[in-house]
Structure 1
Amino acid sequence: MRNVRATAAVALAVAGALAVTACGSGEGGEAAAAEDQVLRLWHFESETSAMGIAWEEAIRVFEEETGATVEFEPRSFEQIRTTASQVLNSSEAPDILEYNKGNATAGLLSSQGLLMPLDDAVAEYGWDSQLAPALQTTARYDENGIMGSGSWYGVPNYGEFVEVYYNVDAFEEAGVEVPTTLEELEQVLQTFADQGTTPLAEAAAEYPLGQLWYQLALTQADRDFVDRYQLYTGEVDWQDEPISYATQTVKDWTDAGYISTDATGLTAEDAGTAFIRGEHPLFYSGSWWHNRFATEITDFEWGTFLFPADMAPGSAGNMWVIPTEARNPELAQEFIDITMRPEIQALIGNNGGVPVAADPSDITDEKSAELIANFNTLNERDGIAFYPDWPTATFYDDLNAGLQELLNGTSSPDEVQQQLGEQYRDGVADITG
């Protein structure tokens, strides 16, 4: 495999050499031809992650089938997020990169003309037939960069969602079973609290508690609420049942000992590792934890189940996007199509990821099959509801701060809702004008 893992400095040096060579008459044509057979690719997945493993194989297949060379340059999520607007508007733009989905990210770049519309490629390769409707939402953006309609500006090839991880051994010792209703879940939480255990591994300094808050709202909501909240199809009443129920329930669960007030200063890493150590029997968080738990939990048996509701936070994963300044968009499209093949999708699935177009019979790992079955169940009932912080560029921090105040008792549920409602409306107004 001729996979060139160029650093930024090497990439610049190569670009400079090509530019000088291009000044010569005969040799310039050869340099241009060579450049036409190079796919410059950025992504931020680790080599041992499900996507990293699958995409490494996709690179091998791509080079074998096309004869082109992949210049892969690893970039961190933060590197891409903070520099995208500048780099993608220059000659240094790659041909293809992994980019975050949502109005404030891919939507913003699409509205600035920095991403190439992919409608023709989607029709040619049939990617729309491989993606469930909810997964297409984050791939399409209108002229204002608002997701859900308009042209395709990206193609996701994996999914993600939030579910409940639980300690099977602890459940057996406590004499409880996997709940199928919200009432049964609260009975499970109460059983552990009565035994002196804080049942939920939780964190309010980062995303876990915000996602639980949103999940509780979803137990009282329907698709119309999600569309109003996420897609701005109508006003969101921050004193209405879904949000009021969610905020009050977080308060009630904290008072009942289901959630520790110490969570105000804990990160997602803190909560996840506490679950790994067996300190809490339940952890409500994303599918991105699955592979880590599979490799790091050795002292007890664990499993997963969907939160008892029709919908859950989740979405298509981050997307392949092609910059407007890409030199080889056709090669980029060929690479995307390879990552959608069943054999590449199976690699994602068997390594702890959530493929969007895998053949279920190709998934041989038992826990991975359970994970993917949960995701498919959500898709089949149109249950993918996106994430609570997506509507505005600042709402992730706003929501975390509000819930910290709720947990430590400095603000009441009504005060938190009023504050969050104002921040939400201001942020949406900044986007929609």
Structure 2
Amino acid sequence: MNRSSKTGATRKTGAVATALVAVAALGLSACGADADDSGDGKSLRLWHFEGANSAMGLAWAEAIKQFEASHPGVKVTYEEKGFEQIRQNAGMILNSDQGPDILEYNKGNASAGLLSKQGLLTDLTAEAGKRGWDKAISPSVATTSKYDQAGIMGGDKWYGVPNYGEYVMVYYNQDLFDKYQLKVPTTLAEFESVMDTFVQNKVTPLSVGGAEYPAQQIFYELALSKANRSFVDDYQLYKNKVNFTGPELTYGANTFADWVRKGYLGKDSAGIKAEDMGVAFSQGKYPILISGSWWFGRFSDEIKNFKWGTFLFPGNTLQPGSGGNLWVVPTSSKNKQLAYDFIDITMKPEIQNLLGNSGGVPLAADPAAISNPKAKELIENFNKLNSSDGLAFYPDWPAPGYYDVLVAGMQNLINGSKKPEQVLDEIAKPYNDNLASIGK
């Protein structure tokens, strides 16, 4: 998954000097630690990167209120961080004594898996059993919460707990569809026909953020249109070797390049960030955006000038998605019991119901308590994917640093600076190098 603090939706690593600047920006200078970090059971230092008006931001603000009400004398020190801030510097932060007691962190081999392997995350297995998290979270969603000794997801130990789900879908401007008498497509061919109509009317169909995660998710959607569960297990869980020149990834790269040539996305999108992509869609500048459910709450709150809706990527039985980002407890946390209590509160029915009615995808909500029709559809689609084993995780998860590899690859396809087969060769190497490094 990848996401900015403003959207809960933005998912690069520089020289040492850059990292040090970033650490300073995170407030990890000598003055960053204060009495609140004394570990005396009177404070809980919490970091997350969800926007205040996002579903998760709203639900977790309420969870903080309930936590403080149920823990008299304990203060939550909440600090909003950017997704990229945490992603780039988590290892350095959690290896210091100035990190938080609990934080939201990205899941997958390259993220939570890597930190668990490095010994930077607390093993939550006993707590998951004692507090019932292992029963409340389905096995499919729990895949990204549990890691083995090599940091590969689907292992036997819990290192994080999600309290929501997420998946990639298609957002569309219903007014623009109506203007050109277009219906919601049910097949990939119909989807391309819709985009052809927009191009013929000099409208660029897709709002895309090629400088961050969104472009690679489109590439992955296209690959998944030719894939089955065995391919996903091979790619994500290392069950068998992956053929990067096989039909799935070849189709994804070739079709993505075709979409650029056909004008479905602008060549300037290589430099556009996810935040700007989302803003452009919400302003009605593009008819279609392919991205995650994490935008749903924000679009519900901000789009006032046109009707909009969502649909699953046409024709796919597999979609990028998983349990949401994880609550993780650093090994260095000074208030672990309080951190566990906070996770418990985020799983309470009233927090889960608030999450659902605010446009999120709760894991343990009461369906009857979800009153928003659009939110019901969002949750039903996730439940459909979850129950049919249709969650295919995200393309950047398999290897540390793979996010940047895929960003660069998609930018090369958008710019036309490299052919699809060259990009596939470039993304194959670090993947296979990682397999060799862990003895696979």
Please give the range of the TM-score, normalised by the shorter of the 2 chains.
0.7 to 0.9
Offset from partner CA, 1:84-135 (integer Å, 9 cap, x none): 4344345545432222212222212211222221112111222122222221
Aligned counterpart, 1:285: 291
Count of aligned residue pairs for this structure pair: 411
Using a 3 Å threshold, how does the CA distance of structure 1 residues 335 and 274 change in structure 2: closer, same or farther?
A: closer
Alignment match of 2:72 (pick from 60, 67, 70):
67
Does the 8 Å CA contact 1:114/1:324 hold for their aligned counterparts? Answer: yes
Q: Bigger shift: 391-400 or 241-250?
A: 391-400
Q: Does 1:123 align with 2:129?
A: yes
Does the 8 Å CA contact 2:53/2:297 hold for their aligned counterparts? Answer: no
Aligned counterpart, 1:3: none
Structure showing greater radius of gyration is 1
Alignment match of 1:165 (pick from 171, 179, 185):
171
Does the 8 Å CA contact 1:99/1:320 hold for their aligned counterparts? Answer: yes
SS in 2 for 1:48: coil
Offset from partner CA, 1:207-239 (integer Å, 9 cap, x none): 222100100100110111111111111111011
Aligned counterpart, 1:340: 347
Distance 2:145 2:161 in 1: 6
SS in 2 for 1:163: strand
Using a 3 Å threshold, how does the CA distance of structure 1 residues 287 and 431 change in structure 2: closer, same or farther?
A: farther
Aligned counterpart, 2:247: 241
Using a 3 Å threshold, how does the CA distance of structure 1 residues 278 and 129 change in structure 2: closer, same or farther?
A: same
Distance 2:329 2:438 in 1: 23
Does the 8 Å CA contact 2:146/2:159 hold for their aligned counterparts? Answer: yes
Using a 3 Å threshold, how does the CA distance of structure 1 residues 14 and 136 change in structure 2: closer, same or farther?
A: same
TM-score for the superposition, normalised by structure 2? 0.86
Structure richer in helix, relative to its length: 1
Q: Bigger shift: 224-233 or 289-298?
A: 289-298
Note the C-alpha offset of 1:140: 0.5
Note the C-alpha offset of 1:277: 2.6
Alignment match of 1:51 (pick from 50, 53, 56):
56
Offset from partner CA, 1:400-421 (integer Å, 9 cap, x none): 2222222333222222222222
Offset from partner CA, 1:25-75 (integer Å, 9 cap, x none): xxxxxxx9xx23443433333433322221222222223334351332304
Residue identity over aligned pairs, in percent, reads 51
Using a 3 Å threshold, how does the CA distance of structure 1 residues 413 and 346 change in structure 2: closer, same or farther?
A: same
Note the C-alpha offset of 1:431: 4.9
Distance 1:398 1:166 in 2: 29
Offset from partner CA, 1:354-393 (integer Å, 9 cap, x none): 2121112212223222222222221121111111111122
Does the 8 Å CA contact 2:64/2:76 hold for their aligned counterparts? Answer: no
State the one-letter code of the partner of 1:45. E
Alignment match of 1:231 (pick from 237, 244, 249):
237
Distance 1:398 1:83 in 2: 18
Q: Bigger shift: 361-370 or 174-183?
A: 361-370
Using a 3 Å threshold, how does the CA distance of structure 1 residues 380 and 393 change in structure 2: closer, same or farther?
A: same
Using a 3 Å threshold, how does the CA distance of structure 1 residues 44 and 311 change in structure 2: closer, same or farther?
A: same
Runs of 5+ consecutive residues of structure 2 not aligned to the other structure = 1-26
Offset from partner CA, 1:130-177 (integer Å, 9 cap, x none): 222221111101111111112001101112211000011111121221
Cα root mean square deviation, aligned: 2.4
Note the C-alpha offset of 1:202: 2.1
Alignment match of 2:157 (pick from 151, 154, 162):
151
Distance 1:38 1:409 in 2: 52
Aligned counterpart, 1:97: 103
SS in 2 for 1:143: coil
Aligned counterpart, 1:429: 436
Offset from partner CA, 1:317-372 (integer Å, 9 cap, x none): 22112223334323322221111011101111222222121112212223222222
Q: Bigger shift: 91-100 or 378-387?
A: 91-100
Using a 3 Å threshold, how does the CA distance of structure 1 residues 128 and 264 change in structure 2: closer, same or farther?
A: same
SS in 1 for 2:170: strand
Distance 1:291 1:361 in 2: 19
